[in-house]
Amino acid sequence: MRASARLGSVAALLLSIGMTAEAAEPSLTVKGAAGSGAAAQAQSLATQAAGLAAAATPGSGPMLTLDPSRSARSMPGFSSLSAADQNLALAGDAINQLIQSLGGSAGGGGALLQRRDNMYYIGVDGEGGRWFASAEQAISFMFQAKVAKSSNFGYGSKQAAFGCAQDLLCAVLAVVKDPYFTIVTVARGASVTVSVAGAGFSGQDGGPTLASDDGISAQSVIFQSPEQLIATLKIAPTVKLGEHLVAVFNAGQGFKNTGVYKLIVQDGVGDAPRTEASTRALAAPLPLTGAAAGQLAGDGADQFWKIDLTAPGTLTVTSLGGTDVKATLEDAGGTALASDDDSGGWYNFKLARALVPGAYYLRVGHCCGGSGAYKLSATLAP
């Protein structure tokens, strides 16, 4: 462990030595394109997909099953489909090609598409599907869900994609153009512990240091591996609100960063630290009577609830509302005891487990990395 000294403004430092910020997501690579060509290629594929979706006119048709390993034209019965259904299938096929062109994986399961009663359905990789008013909105959701599902995209890319609602071109360009991996949103005056994922970190000579703007300092940096650091950041009460850059420098390389990350400072209470232990430590108590309200931030982070049982019984927890949430019940050590996705009404979860007295945690997340409010109802039956 090494407490790092603040090295001054990242923006000023990069400008003074004539460097551009290095991309902080080594897993996000663009196949067949480089540099500015990536955005142009992605935009072209997105425009193609949107055009095919626009040609999928409203109406009703059969459920279409897309296999990401095969072209839509090779699906059984493709030639007998209506023109609108062929265009819908080809639009979904174009989304798979778009994901692959960005370095992601279109695999992990197929996709279901359907026109019915002038609405458009999309279901991705075995998750609960959605109905949309337009085919363009449906394939945009398909792109976002594929980004969320692909392990080849980092947290920053997923956050950027889901910040565009159902706007395909916005989501695509956000993934391509945003070179900084957002590690955390924090409040003025807060101290947070964050996990920094990247590449090329070195543990030699005391390990890396972090540099950021005035008022943002690293109290400690722990080298975990060449791909991960654990850092504790202190945010002064006077720091300006908005985006800041945090750069990682290996020991002895003060003029060449190994990754630049984006940190967002807001007023009030910031997000819980991204590390699981810290999030569990800040878990709100889940009452066994009435309902509790939760909110998912839309950045792929889960929300934790703590359940303290003083008597044995069968715990049943159900989610309520229009947000597609899933949950895992864990013991105090983090071992999963039960999990569920869609056993409740609509796309809500419902799980039950016989438990002995003790402390437990409920981990709630969005099915596809999205955001939204939800409610929980918990009961304990003898």
Same-domain status, 212 and 166: no
Q: Would you state the structure tokens that stand for residue 119, as one six-digit string?
A: 């609405």
- Residue 299: HSE in the Cβ half-sphere, 13 Å Cα cutoff: 15
- The confidence score (pLDDT) of residue 296 equals 76
Contacts of 247 (CB under 8 A, 6+ apart): 7, 10, 13, 14, 21, 210, 211, 212, 257, 259, 260, 261
Question: How confident is the prediction along the chain (382 residues), in pLDDT tens digits per residue?
Answer: 333 333 333 333 332 222 233 333 322 222 222 233 445 567 777 888 889 999 999 999 999 998 887 888 988 899 999 999 999 999 998 888 888 777 666 555 678 999 999 999 998 865 668 899 999 999 988 888 888 777 666 555 676 677 677 778 777 766 765 455 555 667 777 777 777 777 788 888 888 888 888 888 888 888 888 877 888 888 888 888 777 778 888 887 655 667 777 777 776 544 333 334 346 766 788 889 878 888 776 556 788 889 999 999 999 999 988 778 899 999 988 888 999 988 887 778 999 999 999 999 999 988 776 677 788 999 999 9
Residue 339's DSSP bridge partners are 328
Find where tokens 């209506």 sit: 82
- The confidence score (pLDDT) of residue 144 equals 84
Domain boundary among 123, 156, 177: 177
Same-domain status, 364 and 237: no
Same-domain status, 55 and 85: yes
- The confidence score (pLDDT) of residue 179 equals 53
* 282-295 residue pLDDT tens: 678 888 987 888 87
31 found inside a domain: no
148 found inside a domain: yes
Same-domain status, 146 and 214: no
Distances (CA, A) of 351 to 285, 286, 317: 18, 15, 6
Q: Would you state the structure tokens that stand for residue 342, as one six-digit string?
A: 């869609």
Q: Would you state the structure tokens that stand for residue 150, as one six-digit string?
A: 């692909």
Cα 15 versus chain centre, distance: 31
- Residue 103: HSE in the Cβ half-sphere, 13 Å Cα cutoff: 18
29 found inside a domain: no
Give the number of other CB atoms < 10 A from CB of residue 9: 17
- The confidence score (pLDDT) of residue 159 equals 67
284 found inside a domain: yes
32 found inside a domain: no
Q: Would you state the structure tokens that stand for residue 11, as one six-digit string?
A: 């923006």
* 125-166 residue pLDDT tens: 656 688 999 999 999 888 888 887 776 665 556 766 776 777
User: Could you tell me if 374 and 294 are in contact, meaning their C-beta atoms sit under 8 angstroms apart?
Assistant: yes
Same-domain status, 206 and 137: no
The domain spanning residue 294 has which CATH number? Answer: 2.60.120.380
Same-domain status, 281 and 350: yes
- The confidence score (pLDDT) of residue 256 equals 67
Residue 149's DSSP bridge partners are none
Same-domain status, 45 and 131: yes
CA angle 77, 80, 84 (to 5 degrees): 110
Q: What is the number of domains present in the chain?
A: 3
Cα(10)–Cα(123) distance, integer angstroms:
43
- The confidence score (pLDDT) of residue 133 equals 92
367 found inside a domain: yes
Same-domain status, 159 and 192: no
Cα(221)–Cα(218) distance, integer angstroms:
7
Domain boundary among 114, 148, 177: 177
128 found inside a domain: yes
30 found inside a domain: no
Cα(194)–Cα(272) distance, integer angstroms:
10
| Domain ranges, residue 283 | 276-381
- The confidence score (pLDDT) of residue 334 equals 83
Find where tokens 């159902």 sit: 166
Same-domain status, 256 and 317: no
Find where tokens 């998750």 sit: 127
Cα(305)–Cα(307) distance, integer angstroms:
7
Q: What are phi and psi of 311, to 5 degrees?
A: -140, 155
Q: Would you state the structure tokens that stand for residue 157, as one six-digit string?
A: 């890319």
Same-domain status, 240 and 371: no
Same-domain status, 304 and 358: yes
